[in-house]
Amino acid sequence: MDHAEKIKADYVIVDMDTYGGVLTDAKEIVDLVMDFKKPIWVFINSDAASAGALISIACDSIYMSKGASIGAATVVEGDGQQAPDKYQSYMRSIMRSTAEANHRDPRIAEGMVDDRIVIDSIKQAGKVITFTTSEAIKHGYCEAQVESIEEILNRNKIKDYELHRFQLGVTEKIIAIFLNPFISGILILVILGGIYFELQTPGVGFPLFAAITALVLYLVPYYLSGLAEYWEIIALFIGILLLLAEVFIIPGFGVAGISGITLVVVSMVLIMLNNDFFNFEFVPMGDIVMATFATVGGISGGMLLLIFGGARLTDTKAFKRISLNDSQESSQGFSVNSNTQAMMGKKGLAHTILRPSGKVLIEDQVYDAFTRGEFVEKGESIEVIGTEGVTLRVKKSVDSAA
CATH classification of the domain holding 90? 3.90.226.10
**Within a domain: 163:** no
Q: What pLDDT is stored for residue 68 in this prediction?
A: 95
Residue 96: C-alpha distances to residues 48, 54, 92, 105 (Å): 17, 10, 6, 8
Residues 318 and 339 in one domain: no
Alpha helices in 324-384 (DSSP H): none
Q: Is the pLDDT of residue 2 over 60?
A: yes
Residues 182 and 314 in one domain: yes
| Calpha distance 398→189 (Å, rounded) | 64
- Residue 215 within any structural domain of the chain: yes
Residue 164 lies in a domain: no
List the beta bridge partners of residue 201. none
Q: What are the pLDDT digits (tens) for 353-397?
A: 887 888 999 988 888 888 887 888 889 999 998 887 778 889 988
Residue range 199-207: mean pLDDT, rounded? 67
- Asked whether residue 147 falls in the same domain as residue 213, the answer is no
Residues 175 and 105 reside in one and the same domain: no
Give the C-alpha separation, 120 to 298, whole Å.
55
Among the candidates 155, 184, 207, a domain finishes at: 155
How many domains does the chain divide into? Answer: 3
Question: How high is the pLDDT of residue 193?
Answer: 78
Average pLDDT over residues 28-33: 93
Domain containing 291: what range? 170-322
Verify that 177 and 125 share a domain, yes or no: no
The residue among 246, 286, 292 whose CA lies nearest residue 268 is: 292
Q: Which of 277, 293, 322 is the last residue of a domain?
A: 322
For 102-138, the DSSP string reads: TT--HHHHHHTT-TT--BTTTB-TT---EEEHHHHHH
Amino acid in position 22: V
Contacts of 52 (CB under 8 A, 6+ apart): 16, 17, 18, 19, 20, 21, 44, 70
- Give the CATH number, domain containing residue 389: 2.40.50.140
Contact 72, 78 (CB under 8 A): no
Final residue of a structural domain among 121, 155, 189: 155
Domain identity same for 113 and 182: no
- DSSP-assigned states of every residue in 232-267: HHHHHHHHHHHHHHHHHTSSSS-HHHHHHHHHHHHH
Spatial distance between the Cα atoms of 294 and 301, rounded to a whole number of angstroms: 10
Whole-prediction pTM value? 0.58
Task: Examine the domain organization and report whether 344 and 288 are in the same domain.
Answer: no
Helix/strand/coil for 282: coil
If phi > 0 it is left, if psi is from -120 to 50 it is alpha, else beta; for residue 75 that is beta
Question: Do 383 and 349 share a structural domain?
Answer: yes
What pLDDT shows up at residue 186? 86
Q: Tens of pLDDT along 275-330?
A: 777 777 667 777 788 888 888 888 787 677 666 655 555 555 655 555 555 555 55
- The mean of the pLDDT values for the chain is 83
Q: Are 298 and 264 in contact (CB under 8 A)?
A: no
Q: pLDDT digit string (tens) for 231-271?
A: 889 998 998 888 778 766 776 567 887 888 888 889 888 88
Q: Based on the fold, state whether residues 281 and 358 are members of the same structural domain.
A: no
CA angle 395, 398, 400 (to 5 degrees): 85
Instruction: Identify whether 184 is part of a domain.
Output: yes
